[in-house]
Chain A
Amino acid sequence: MRNYWKHFRIPFIIMIVLALVFGGITIFKGSKEVKRTNDEPGEQRVFDYADVLSDSEEKKLEKLIAKKQKQLGGDIVLMTIEQRLQDESDDYEYPEYYYSEANLDLAEDIYDALSFGYDVPGGNGFIYLDNYYEQEDSYQYSSIFASGECYHEFTDSEMDDVIADTNDDVEDDPYDAYCDMINQSVREMSKGGIDIPVLPIIVIVAIITIVFYARHGSKAKAKKTTAANTYIANNAPRMNQVQDIAYDKKVVTRRIESSSGGRSGGGSRSGGGSRGGRSGRR
């Protein structure tokens, strides 16, 4: 057992130090609050125009948002609507994205019109606009519009995940789905660090463990330490004849098919400034 503690001394110390760092960061993050400097939008953050939430659910969501806003340092707005989006796809640059773009534009307009922004009107925060109207393509659209710092923190793929997860649950239990949406969004934005996937960690640990076991459990008796010339006088045999006589040669030729190049296509869009968002259909 003495050897046990001795052997694992360093890994144990590393583990304890990391656990302390981890605990410290957790406590620090939990206690951090950002003061708001823009009172223009008033108190209301939940606008249930589609009437999918009960009054008490709305109150509970307001409470959750009030708490999370301080942590995030950004406004969190949830709006449900039932609104037909005008089909102007001919004018639009990407007609196939028309409805989702139109819904996102609407979200931006609302965010600005109501002067949201934790620090300044039009500043930090995001709005989740859930449009329950079945558009002419028979889909409903949801969008997240993020502004200021939140735009930088909330990546496109994170937004897509939030929208997809919320859409999965919203039919069954809108209140639960929106709670999750708020928690998940704040969590995604306050991560800010590098996201290391779990699988490589498990693979590395498995390799360390296997190498460790192989080193200490190996049963090899010993390696051979003699060579073919160990017992030979002067360590080398005498070569009386070494002849390599070429007597024939054959050449084979073969045509090589020229390979064809591949095509790459597709385009990407990028938005400018510190504003933008994502839409999803359901």
Chain B
Amino acid sequence: MLFRCTNCFGNVVYSPETGKMFCPYCSGTDTQETLAVPNTVNCVNCSGEIQVNDFTSATKCAYCGSYMIFDERVNGTFTPHLIMPFKLGKERVKEIMRKEFGKKLFAPDDFLSEVKLSTMEGMYVPFWMYDFDTHYNFQGRGTKVRSWRRGNTQYTETTYYNVLRDMDASFEKIPVDASYAMEDSTMDLLEPYNYTALEQFQEKYMSGFFSERYNYTAEQLEPRASAKAQNDTEALMQKTLGGYATMVPVSKNMNVTRKATQYALLPVWTYIYKYNNQLYPFQINGQTGKVVGNVPISKKKAVAYTATTAVVWLAIGLLIKGILGGF
């Protein structure tokens, strides 16, 4: 689908700032009509050749800059159940990046330059969201130690406990990214999203952004989600076992039941900065603005700043010594 302006035939995109469809060419609001995008070979606007991989579901034409959504990749089994529309626009994310890294003095000069930051693109990343019920029965032996002193005698009292726990936990929408290109650990760090902003899938939210359909099925990714549920359940159990000096488990039984899965698209901004022939990817949560990425370090700057810091403060220290000492 391609959203075209009925006034000027420009490409209408979704504006995170206003939550409305916007034509950047004539500044019109909600002026769109839709064109079908039946194949992934040619741009429906300019007929230019389009570069896509097997999973691309929305992209930007390299020739005319139109954003289009490939109908066959958002329909049928590929229809997302839910979408979280971008809440932060590009300008807002630039501000966030400048605030987050502006004080990193060792970063290369153009790391936060307008030109480089403008290369940022927003992408809807495919996620599977799992609902799980976990049941955990725990039995263990614990000790508590109390120590006191009377006269010249030290008393140490050890009490032995049978510790019994039984817990039910209902997990809702544990997210697991279904994109091969997105690094799992990075996607995990972008969490959490505020799910109240999830909506029924609508294609219009995708206009102006890149997207992929899921690269893996829900079954393929279930082990990762299940592991998350089990780790969290274990951590919650540990919280109830405080106050013991030692704890030896006697029996642990955890059952995990998958209840439901949903296919969702979540908003992620990506900024890829190239420095010394190395790529430094930054991912920004398109809803909360949380940034995940490693800042590149300019060795020249690091040496200059660190050496100056040492020299200046040493000079200040010695001058203070000289003045106070009356030499």
Give the interface of A toward B (CB within 8 A).
3-4, 7-8, 11-12, 14-15, 18-19, 21-22, 25-26, 29, 190-196, 198, 201-202, 204-206, 208-209, 212-213, 216-217, 219, 221-226, 228-233, 237-256, 258
Contacts and interface: CB of A to CB of B under 8 A. Distances in A.
A251 B187 CA distance: 52
Nearest to B142: A244
Interface in B303-327: 304-306, 308-310, 312-327
Given A222-B291, A225-B191, 10 more contacts: A8-B312, A192-B326, A193-B324, A212-B305, A219-B295, A232-B172, A237-B168, A237-B233, A243-B163, A249-B158
B192 A230 contact: yes
Interface string B218-238: 000000000011011101100
Q: Which 6 A-B pairs have the closest CB atoms?
A: A193-B326, A228-B235, A241-B166, A237-B169, A201-B317, A18-B319
A223 B291 CA distance: 10
A213 B313 CA distance: 14
Chain A interface helix/strand/loop/mixed: mixed
Given A212-B309, A219-B294, A3 B321 contact: no
Contacts of B291: 222
Given A22-B323, A250-B157, A233 B152 contact: no
Nearest to A252: B156
Contact of B153 (A11, A196, A247, A254): A254
Interface of B: 103-106, 142, 149, 152-174, 186, 188-189, 191-192, 228-229, 231-233, 235-236, 239-240, 290-295, 297, 302, 304-306, 308-310, 312-327
A25 B309 contact: no
Q: Tell me which of A216, A219, A254, A258 has the highest count of chain B C-beta atoms within 10 A of its own C-beta.
A: A216
Contacts of B317: 201-202, 204-205
B197 to A, nearest CB: 16
A5 B293 CA distance: 28
A239 B316 CA distance: 61
A249 B157 contact: yes
A202 B233 CA distance: 50
Contacts of B165: 239, 241-243
13 contacts: A8-B312, A15-B315, A15-B319, A212-B309, A222-B291, A222-B293, A224-B189, A225-B191, A242-B240, A243-B165, A251-B156, A253-B153, A255-B152
